[in-house]
Structure 1
Amino acid sequence: MAAADSTLPLKPAQAPIAPKDRIFNLDMLRGWAILGILAVNAVSFAWPVELTMSDAPPPGGLSYADTVGLWVTDVFFADKFRTLFTMLFGVSVFLVGGERPDRERGRALWRRLIWLGVFGLIHGMVFWYGDILFHYAYCGLLMMLMRSWKASRLLWIGGAITVLWGVVASLGYWGMENLPPEMAEQMQAGMPTADAASIAAAIDVYRSGWPAGLLENVTNWATFQLMASPFLIPISVPLMMLGLGLFKSGWFSGRAPIWTYLLAVVIGGANLALFALWRWQDLMAGEAVDPTHGLAAGAGGMAFLITLFYASVLILITKFGLRMLTGVLVPVGRMAFTNYLTQTLIMVTLYYAPWGPMWFGTHHPAEMWMVVGAVWVAQLIWSPLWLSVFQMGPLEWIWRCLTYGRLLPIRKSAAAAAQASPVAI
């Protein structure tokens, strides 16, 4: 272990997590989540918020390939991977902070969350308004209070609230599609608009470079923090509770009864299949007609079921000896913090940073999928290469050093030497 001072080794709460202490399934699922999140976030990097917050198609309309790309994003990615990452964040609160009576680890967790909030502020205000780190930081401070609850209590309370929100969302989406014509017109009038002039103006601002583009991003970030982020707290915290409950019960580790995974596969898989069918029918029918009578929209509200379907499939694949398949996700998950922020750096560079090609407002869904795929390949390659030399990602290391207030070893050789000797490094 690295030393707390020149003579004493670090206490457990201060020590970096060694590779042998990592939990394979958590890293694997975290890698799956961080890759999937990019597929949803891509449009927010590539188009103005005025367009992403409305149902309007981008200028020039959608080709068949664009429609397929949009369908894939909506059905297989939207809300599913944010949900999974939020659940896993609840687990990390416990793994870092331990039980509530452990004050030393609790203080380390508090510092870790405060620094996460600082990273989130910089990320959101300077680079991309859609940052989730700041939200996780203050939700994590709330989750600290529940981290010592038993698995059953976390599952019942977190699960019940999550199911409730899923039902409310499904009924709400279905109801919106079945409003009387007069009421639907009134509701539509109050929705964000995305007329050609406002979209073109927003594109021009971002493509003009900084400071105009930076100020536009800050404005969008502030609007999101004031108007949307607080309302996500009662959604995010229960998901964190549910995730920690699943971890404490052994479900994430693959030690739960097989029937629990099969049940999630059946229910979540059925929801995914129906949503895929109905959403495709809806897209093919055009804007004016919904042949599903709101079922496509309603099925989208139960995203957490699809999240559990994905997790169950990956856990079962791992459990039955096919780690070579799921193992490719583990390095990406071990560097999730670095990979999340690297995704932002790449996308901002490509779409609206002054030093990039300024693709903002030019890519439709099919083209954005090509960019997303290229970033996936890059992170699947570079993550294991980095971890072959270092024990954690570069930004994980900076975050860890800031949390514990000292320079910790990052190279594997240095970490091994630190474990063999109490001398400070």
Structure 2
Amino acid sequence: MAAVDIESAPRAAPALEPVRPKDRIYNLDVLRGWAILGILAVNAIAFAWPYQLTMSEGAPPGVLTQADHIGMWVTDVFFSDKMRSLFTMLFGVSVFLVGGERFDDNRGPLLRRRLLWLGLIGLIHGAVFWYGDILFHYAYCGLLVMLMRSWSARRLLWVGGSITLLWGLVATAGYWGMANMPAEYAEQMKAGMPAMDPAAIQATIDLYRAGWPSGLLANLETWATFQLMASPFLIPVTVPLMLLGLGLFKSGYFSGRSPLWTYLLVIALGGANLAAFAWFGWQEAMAPKGTDSTNGLAAAAGGMAPLITLFYASVLILINRFGLRVLTAVFAPVGRMAFTNYLTQTLIMVTLYYAPWGPMWFGSHSPAEMWMVVIGVWIAQLIWSPLWLSAFSMGPLEWVWRCLTYGRMVPIRKPAAAPVAA
């Protein structure tokens, strides 16, 4: 996603010209790379298991080993909701970086075209390949955020931050309350929830393994269900996160220009939240099935996921601020190609799990086994991204998206270096 360098002196640029690589903000690329890799750790289960399992407290067919419980603990504690929150915040930044201020009559139409093309790409991605697509949701949320992109940093932080904090408090209290409600109410709630039907789960597995078109139709049905039943209700969560991200950008937080104490405070609060979640989550993961030795504290500690998100962001920003970019440089190329890497993650996972040209692993991998696949994809993208960017100025799908947005072919190859005078 396009970015400009606010750390240097302002300079005018042609309104409809693509953003040059040297104008990118390094911190945003690092954060985006970290987020896009972490998103795969969360999404892997949705590629590999029937949706009935991913939406419940169940497990895949077979007996889970201790390694599987550890794998699920790692995903829940360190990745779930944190990476989506970070990527959502950064998308809010991109709305402003592409569209500029609301009164910009040149860049505003450019932003609208960019979001509309993203919506179309998201429709194809979700309906045809993988029901868990987020791009379509981001496109229509982006159309709302673009109306507020000229708000001041203070207003964005107050509105986006307050609503995000409210949802976090609601989630924290709700998780704890559900775990500690009277037994009779808990039984009534459990009785009202759909039971996990092993026959239905196996039928879904067989449907996906049958190849296309049955697998395509199953994915389309699940995607349509989520679009109707879930995605609209995520708008009040997604839009505030985008506003919060844009407020953090405008305030200088993402570029490392905020006072040091603000980063240290976020690190202290977010780190404490992460430590508590890890500790209580580990106790819950190691407890016998159906028991909760933490009395709901494990679930409650995960309610403030955006705070842990900001902990990650603050650590990475301070590493860069203190001149230790060598420790974060590995993420920047992945972030510069985030759109390509997100969609290639889908291509790889669909190929492995239910595309007719792949090994059809759908429903056969445990959480521990899926982590091996995730790490393999991480390694591939960490290698592939800098190699591609050594010859090209942007990722291949970023280039396609940009050509569609501008309505013309834009350069993708890096310009040849000028010869050095003798």
TM superposition score category, shorter chain reference: over 0.9
Tell me: CA distance 1:158–1:63, structure 2 relative to 1, closer, same or farther (3 Å). Answer: same
Q: Which moved more, 1:394-403 or 1:51-60?
A: 51-60
Matches of 2:271 and 2:171, distance apart in 1: 19
* Equivalence for 1:255: 257
Q: 2:339: which partner in 1?
A: 337
Tell me the equivalent position of 2:139. 137
* Equivalent residue, structure 1, for 2:112: 110
Q: Could you tell me how far apart the structure 1 residues matched to 2:290 and 2:139 are? A: 41
> What residue in structure 2 maps to residue 423 of structure 1?
none
Distance in 1 (CA, whole Å) between partners of 2:278 and 2:196 is: 26
Residue 22 of structure 2: aligned partner: 20
Other structure's SS at 2:331 match: helix
Amino acid in structure 2 at the alignment position of 1:117: G
Aligned 8 A contact 1:53 1:192 in 2: no
Partner Cα distance (1:375, 1:192) in 2: 34
Q: Secondary structure at the match of 1:391?
A: coil
Equivalences for residues 11-410 of structure 1 within 5 A: 12-410=14-412
Offset of residue 68 of structure 1: 0.6
Q: Counterpart of 2:9?
A: none
Alignment-mate amino acid for residue 382 of structure 1: W
Whether the 8 Å CA contact 1:30–1:88 is kept in 2: the answer is yes
Do the aligned partners of 1:50 and 1:193 also contact (CA within 8 Å) in 2?
no
> Which amino acid in 1 is paired with 2:83?
F
Provide the rounded CA distance (Å) in 2 between the counterparts of 1:75 and 1:61. Answer: 22
Q: Amino acid of the residue matched to residue 148 of structure 1?
A: S
**Cα separation, 2, equivalents of 1:187 and 1:338:** 42
Q: 3-state DSSP class of the match of 2:329?
A: helix
Q: Give the Cα–Cα distance (whole angstroms) in 2 for the partners of residues 53 and 183 of structure 1.
A: 21
CA distance in 2, matches of 1:192, 1:55: 12
**C-alpha separation between the residues in 2 aligned to 1:238 and 1:286?**
38
Shift of 1:207: 0.3
Match of 2:3 in 1: none
Q: Is the 8 A contact 2:70 2:285 kept in 1?
A: no
Q: Pick the structure with more helix per residue.
A: 1
Whole-Å Cα distance in 2 between the matches of residues 191 and 143 of structure 1?
A: 35
Structure 2 CA distance for aligned equivalents of residues 204 and 15 of structure 1 = 49
Q: For residues 392 and 190 of structure 1, what CA distance do their matches in structure 2 show? A: 50
How far 1:127 moved relative to its partner? 0.3
CA offset at residue 194 of structure 1?
Answer: 2.4
Give CA deviations for 1:108-141 in whole Å, capped at 9, x if unaligned. 0000000000000000000000000000000000
Q: Tell me how far apart the structure 2 counterparts of residues 363 and 288 of structure 1 sit (CA, whole Å).
A: 23
Q: Structure 1: which amino acid aligns with 2:94?
A: S
What is the alpha-carbon distance in structure 1 between the residues aligned to residue 260 and residue 194 of structure 2?
46
What code does the residue aligned with 2:347 have?
A: L
Deviation at 1:18, TM superposition (A): 1.2
Code of the aligned partner of 2:335: G
| CA–CA separation in structure 1 for the residues paired with 2:15 and 2:340 | 22
Contact 1:203 1:360 in 2 (8 A): yes
> Retained in 2: the 8 A contact 1:54–1:192?
no
Identify the range of structure 1 (337-346 vs 170-179) with the bigger mean alpha-carbon deviation: 170-179
CA displacement at 1:15 relative to structure 2: 1.2
Q: Which runs of 5+ in 1 are unaligned?
A: 1-9, 418-425
Residue 32 of structure 2 aligns with an amino acid whose one-letter code is: R
SS in 2 for 1:13: coil
- TM-score, length of structure 1 as denominator length: 0.94
- Distance (whole Å) between structure 2 residues aligned to residue 250 and residue 192 of structure 1: 47
Moved runs in structure 1, 4+ residues, more than 6 A? none
Instruction: Tell me how far apart the structure 1 counterparts of residues 208 and 64 of structure 2 sit (CA, whole Å).
Output: 22
Q: CA RMSD in A?
A: 1.2
Counterpart secondary structure, 2:254: coil
Aligned counterparts of 1:288 and 1:411: Cα–Cα separation in 2: 56
CA deviations over 1:290-327 (Å, ceiling 9, x no partner): 11111111111110110000001001111111101101
Give the alignment's TM-score, normalised by structure 2: 0.95
Contact kept, 8 Å, 1:54 with 1:193, in 2: the verdict is no
Instruction: Give the CA deviation at 1:191.
Output: 2.7
Residues 177-213 of structure 1 show CA distances to partners (whole Å, capped at 9, x for unaligned) of: 1121221122122334322211111100000001111
Distance 1:119 1:193 in 2: 35
The one-letter code matched in structure 1 to 2:198 is A
Question: 2:7 aligns to what?
Answer: none
Aligned identity (percent) is 75
SS in 1 for 2:333: helix
Query: What is the CA distance between 1:11 and its match in structure 2?
Result: 6.5
- C-alpha spacing 1:176/1:391, structure 2 compared with 1 (3 Å): same
Partner of 1:421: none
